[in-house]
A and B are shown apart, each in its own frame.
Chain A
Amino acid sequence: MRRAELVTAVLLAAFSIYLMWKSTELNVGWVEHEGPGGGAWPFWLAGMMLVCNIWTIVNWVRKTTPQSRSQDLFMDSYAIRMFLLVGGSVVGLVAMVHVIGVYGAVPIFMLFYLRVLGRHNWVPTLVISGIAPVVIFFFFDVAMRIVLPKGYLEPLFYPLYDIFL
């Protein structure tokens, strides 16, 4: 935990500097008779972020916060495994939307999650994975008129559009 605290603070400090640098694309100073320029708001606030990160680093050195004293692991093996599995499956879900759309990705994600991570029986797994896209379709595409992305599966939906939209 102690090491993670420092690494995070340093990374965030670097990010703050990046934000400050990015803000300088616009005027970060004071424009005569007009007040702050377009980049001033993000620039100075990113500067405050940097100050806070340095403050955290100082706290780390002086060991004044619980995180800077903690000898616990930041992520134990269980946490890492679950983060990779669950986080990875979420990334997979979003990535699949680009290819096979929401209605292809959601059942596959649900099948994986319920069966592999949740260790549920096939019956509830299949039922939930099957119902979810149907409910989403009627709520979003039909009722709310928010047409969700369908990727390469779009032509399969033409008949459904004819009936429901």
Chain B
Amino acid sequence: MEIIQLLLDGFLIAFEPLNLGLVVVGVTVGLFIGAMPGLGSVNGVAILLPLTFLVPPTSAIIFLAAIYYGAMYGGAISSIMLGIPGASTAVATTFDGRPLALKGMADKALIAAAVASFFGGTISIILFTGFAPALASVALDFGDQEIFALMLLAFATFVGLGGDDIAKTIFSICIGLVFSAVGMDIISGTPRLVFFDIIGFLHGINFLVLAIGVYGIGEMLWTIDSTRGNPSMSKVEVSTKRTISHLKEVLKEWKPAWIGSLLGFFVGILPAAGATPGSLMAYGISKMTSKNPDGYGKGEVGGVIAPEAANNSASTGAMLPMLTLGIPGSPTTAILLGGMVIWGLVPGPMMFIEQSDFVWGLTASLYAANFFAVIINILFIPVFLWVLKMPFTILAPIIFVLCLVGGYAPTEDMHDVWLMVIFGFGAYLLRKLDYPLAPAVLAIVLGPIAEPALRQSLIISGGDATVFFTRPIAGPITMIAIVLLLLPLVQVFRKKRKQAKDAEA
């Protein structure tokens, strides 16, 4: 087993004192960066990139990978504690993480997130270790047609996430997709939907602006209104016994963990897709296959496990095309790639042969980073819970300030902060009328991937839309997506027919 030998060599590199120290520091720093609303692994890795010139390249990438991992763990923290997804990868975690926290089960949700992240991370690194070069070629086979089919599938899996009002759910999806089109149309090379010629719309509407607006400002206003300014957040007392019993319950949920890990990894290795669609699909499929699908969205622990396992798994998966093909699978790996270029490493198919020290050192340190991340994360849980114990009138202004800086940080543009405030107010008012807003947030993430892929495919095929059905990989994916899309409609009609029958009877 040559791979095992190489991996053992890698562990020798990963366990050098310097590298091990960097892993621990990186994971901790990443955890906090990820826990800030508005800052995710992209920011962490981009900002700390220049600091890594102090150490040799292998140590540097180990450090950055540790930050990446830590931030993926940390993203769940703000999703659960504040209900604000810190990054697009953690949106799905809010669906059940937030309700759990409101029920006084924040610690359970945090433990579930940590354990699921560890599980997803580990599974994906094992797959990575065993099959890296083989899987790289799968990534290459994914052209625009396949990416579009995949996006269709992603939409299909979460079509059931909206509320009971179908009109409002579809409205929400559409408005998200329209907002995602704001800015530059890369195919025609012309700006579009630049409202009132405000220059800030040229960079489009950042996902985080909508997410922080909806889940930060909108959610706070809603909470103040619905609880009359005095929310009774159930207090959580941490004890070892409680933690262990949570841990036992979480470990029973193996199905969402597997769904998340495998789906996340395979979606993660596809270029352009990344961790966000992976985590959404994992959530949707885990809901569909669950024995208790109605509990999802109301605080089902599986709804935290599936997306968290998926996003960590996908973040490892995204490194695969980066290392083997030199193609980043996610924005964060794009920056990592930039780092490798700075250090004079050439990612690509030759890398596993020419720089095997580097590759295996990195792989081994991913195991280590994952291990330390779960431990550090669980150790910090009491600290995070302490935050929840603050009186609401102290927590609220702090969250508003976090929204302000979190909205500013990604683009460093006050335009986005104003937009976020407007979205927040709008979200609050719409929510009072029961408009579901999660579909809009998801749509704004997937729209910019789906639309260009659709149009690029059609240009290549000369306007022939059948390519989505006839290509060997895209075809089956499209068919599954269509079936999944039609399923809820069939259910609705069945229900109606049943009601009609009942009425007759």
* 0/1 interface trace, chain A 30-56, chain B, CB 8 Å (1 if under): 111111111101100110110011011
Enumerate chain A residues within 8 angstroms of B462, measured Cβ to Cβ. Answer: 33-34
Q: Report how far A113 CA is from B219 CA in the complex, Å.
A: 17
Which of B96-104, B152-160, B181-189, B346-354 makes up part of the contact surface? B181-189
For B401, list chain A residues within 8 Å (CB). 93, 106, 109-110, 132, 136
A91 and B421 contact, CB distance less than 8 A: yes
* Residues on B with beta carbons closer than 8 Å to the beta carbon of A27: 188
Q: How large is the interface on A (under 10, 10 to 19, 20 to 34, 35 or more residues)?
A: 35 or more
* Chain A residue contacts of B192, Cβ below 8 A: 22-23, 25-26, 38-39, 42
Query: Are A22 and B195 within 8 A (Cβ)?
Result: yes
By a CB distance below 8 angstroms, the chain B residues around A53 are 167, 171
In the bound assembly, the distance between CA atoms of A78 and B190 in angstroms comes to 47
Given A4-B433, A8-B430, A124-B394, decide whether A32 and B167 contact each other with a Cβ distance below 8 A. no
Asked if A19 and B193 make an inter-chain contact with CB atoms under 8 angstroms apart, the answer reads yes
Is A61's CB within 8 Å of the partner chain B? no
Q: Do B167 and A87 touch (CB < 8 A)?
A: no
Pair A35/B458 contact, Cβ less than 8 Å:
yes
B393 close to A8 (CB less than 8 A): no
Instruction: Give every chain A residue within 8 A of B79 (Cβ-Cβ).
Output: none
Q: Tell me whether A100 is interfacial, beta carbon within 8 Å.
A: no
Beta-carbon contact of B171 and A118 below 8 Å: no
CB neighbours (8 Å) of B193 from chain A are: 19, 22-23, 42
Please provide the 3 A-B residue pairs with the shortest distance between their CB atoms, ordered closest to farther.
A35-B458, A118-B393, A38-B188
Answer yes or no: A146 CB below 8 A from chain B CBs.
yes
Measured in the bound complex, the distance between the Cα atoms of B157 and A30 in whole Å is: 28
- Out of B39, B228, B393, name the residue touching A144 (CB < 8 Å): B39
A75 within 8 A of B: yes
Could you list 19 examples of A-B contacts with CB < 8 Å? A34-B463, A41-B451, A42-B182, A45-B177, A52-B170, A82-B224, A82-B225, A83-B225, A102-B408, A106-B401, A109-B400, A113-B393, A114-B393, A114-B394, A114-B397, A119-B393, A132-B401, A144-B39, A149-B414
* Number of residue pairs A-B, CB distance < 8 angstroms: 180
In the bound complex, do residue A86 and residue B221 qualify as a contact, i.e. CB atoms below 8 Å apart?
yes
Interface residues of chain B, those whose CB is within 8 Å of chain A, are: 33, 36, 39, 43, 47, 165, 167-168, 170-171, 174-175, 177-178, 181-182, 185, 187-188, 190, 192-193, 195, 217, 220-221, 224-225, 228-229, 391, 393-394, 396-398, 400-401, 404-405, 408-409, 412, 414, 417-418, 421, 424-425, 428-430, 432-434, 451, 454-455, 457-459, 462-463, 465
A86-B434 contact in complex given A35-B463, A38-B188, A49-B178, C-beta closer than 8 Å:
no
B174 contacts which of A26, A46, A78, A124 (Cβ < 8 Å)? Answer: A46
Residues of A within 8 A of B434 (CB): 65-67
Expressed in whole angstroms, the Cα–Cα distance for A102 and B187 within the complex equals 38
Task: Please report whether the interface of chain B is mostly helix, strand, loop or mixed according to DSSP.
Answer: helix
Whether, in the assembled complex, A10 has its beta carbon less than 8 Å from a beta carbon of chain B, the answer is: no
The answer to whether B225 and A97 touch across the interface, beta carbons within 8 angstroms, is: no
Q: Which residue of B lies closest to A49 (CB)?
A: B174
Q: Which chain B positions have C-beta within 8 A of A30?
A: 463
B residues within 8 A CB of A12?
Answer: 171
Chain A residue numbers with a CB within 8 Å of B451 are 41
A75 and B432 form a contact (CB under 8 A): yes
Residues from chain A with a CB closer than 8 A to the CB of B424 are: 90
Extra contacts besides A82-B221, A93-B404 (16): CB < 8 Å: A4-B433, A8-B430, A22-B193, A25-B192, A32-B463, A34-B458, A36-B455, A37-B188, A48-B170, A49-B175, A66-B434, A82-B225, A86-B220, A86-B221, A102-B405, A139-B36
The CA of A35 and the CA of B167, in the complex, are separated in Å by: 28
